[in-house]
Amino acid sequence: MEIKVITCHDVYNFGASLQAFALMHFLQKQGHDVEIIDYKPDYLDFPYKFSLFVHPDSPVRKYTDRSTLLRVLYALKRYLWYLPSLKRKESFDGFTSRFLALTRQYRNYNELMTDVPAADIYITGSDQVWNSVTMLNGKDPAFYLQFAPAGKKRISYAASFGATSVSNESRKELQTYLSSLDAISVRETSGLDILHEFNLEGTQVCDPVFLLSEEEWRSVCDKSASEEPYVLIYNLTAVNEQLVRDAKYVAGKLGIRLYSVSPMKIKGADRNFTDVGPVDFVRLIFNSAYVFTNSFHATAFSIIARRQFCTYGYHSRSNSSRMYSILNLLGMLERMNVTEIDEALAAPVDYDAKDAMIDELCSNGKSWLLKNL
């Protein structure tokens, strides 16, 4: 069967790249011909390339339009940000080239509609393809498979709304898009709640990274072992001071080194891996002694690798729903927003006791996907 997948596969985010690979690879193992639609509209591509121009959708546009000086200062700021990120970008581009099978590139929705890639079935997901609150892709009809020819099957796999609600201004439009799908699966419990608000049915399934076994992921990261034990930080977005403080405490308590694979340097870390790609991200988690993170996918890979971990939610309950959902499903909520770090150290995750739940989560995702192809 010929399958085309659309997702945010090339946005220089570890989880986005890895979930795209996992879904593609799982389907290929079933004997299907699978490609990811290389959909790169300007709003997804612009933040990751240098330009002297201010994107029309940027919140700073209303200021830079008024002043040449502000435009120059903004361009300088982007340039200073862009230069150190070049090596990181190269690492991600290398992963995309090596691991992802892509169609021709489409720069906008009109291009996609004009030359729709042929397939027997179209899949959207996973990850935050339907986040209409903080991301433009959640309002883009492409991520709801509106380009698919009439009569072709359209399904979502583990799509995430990225929040507990949808954009009010797009609500009616999104309901129409969602109603056109033949089968819907979402990643979070909050996604089911949103579907029910639209009088639509769906199934909660695991993120694609759980479709591959621990051994398969170890083969991806080349099985190389660390020369020394370490605590690993993956701090997404602004620095979470409690996360960093707890990680430093545990590294000191265990007498081991502190590593960070965060986009920004963490002060006090023995090593900062700011420019590595998805393969090294997986390797660093698999070889760690303990993981401290505020990322859904770092949490997921900690579970797959059977690592000890602590997960920290964002200030917004809405943005924390992704981590809350997976930990609640697996009976691991005590690992989220830990207030007494010594208690967490004294009560590590008993993976032998969790294996049945983890296996069921993975099995249910595989079964739903194969049944709905």
Q: Which pLDDT score, from 0 to 100, does residue 81 have?
A: 60
The single-letter code of the amino acid at 251 is: A
| Separation CA 370–CA 1 (nearest Å) | 12
Strands of 256-367, DSSP E: 257-260, 271-272, 290-293, 308-311
CA distances from 250 to 7, 231, 244, 256, 338 (A): 37, 8, 10, 9, 13
From 113, 143, 123, select the one nearest 44 (Cα to Cα). 143
| Whether the predicted pLDDT of 188 surpasses 90 | yes
Share of the chain above pLDDT 70, in %: 87
Same fold, 2-46+94-211 and 214-354: yes
Q: How confident is the model at residue 340 (pLDDT cuts 50, 70, 90)?
A: very high
CA distances from 132 to 139, 233, 320 (A): 5, 29, 16
Supply the DSSP string of 146-188, one letter for each residue. TTSPTTSEEEESSB--SSSS--GGGHHHHHHHHHT-SB-EESS
Per the DSSP assignment, residues forming a β-bridge with 292 are 233, 310
CATH architecture observed for domain 214-354: 3-Layer(aba) Sandwich (3.40)
| Separation CA 279–CA 94 (nearest Å) | 10
Q: Which pLDDT score, from 0 to 100, does residue 321 have?
A: 83
Q: Where exactly are the structural domains of the chain?
A: 2-46+94-211, 214-354
Q: Which pLDDT score, from 0 to 100, does residue 130 have?
A: 97
Asked if residues 161 and 187 have their Cβ atoms less than 8 Å apart, the reply is no
CA angle 300, 305, 311 (to 5 degrees): 40
Q: Which two tokens stand for residue 72?
A: 């120059």
Average pLDDT, the chain: 91
Task: Provide the residue count of the chain.
Answer: 373
Segment 276-302, tens digit of pLDDT = 999 999 999 999 999 999 999 999 999
Q: What is the maximum span of the chain, computed from C-alpha positions, in angstroms?
A: 62
| Separation CA 95–CA 270 (nearest Å) | 26
| Separation CA 349–CA 302 (nearest Å) | 11
| Separation CA 88–CA 147 (nearest Å) | 33
The CATH number corresponding to 2-46+94-211 among 3.40.50.11690, 1.10.287.610, 3.40.50.11720, 1.10.579.10 equals 3.40.50.11720
Segment 93-136, tens digit of pLDDT = 999 999 999 999 999 999 999 999 999 999 998 999 999 988 99
| Whether the predicted pLDDT of 311 surpasses 90 | yes
Supply the DSSP string of 53-80, one letter for each residue. SPPTT-TTHHHHTT-HHHHHHHHHHHHH
Q: At a CB cut-off of 8 Å and minimum separation 6, what does 342 contact?
A: none
Worst-scoring range by mean pLDDT, 176-190, 262-276, 314-328? 314-328
How large is the average pLDDT for residues 304-326?
A: 82
Q: Is the dihedral angle over the CA atoms 192, 198, 199, 200 positive or is it negative?
A: negative
Strands of 26-140, DSSP E: 33-39, 102-106, 121-124
Asked if residues 125 and 93 have their Cβ atoms less than 8 Å apart, the reply is no
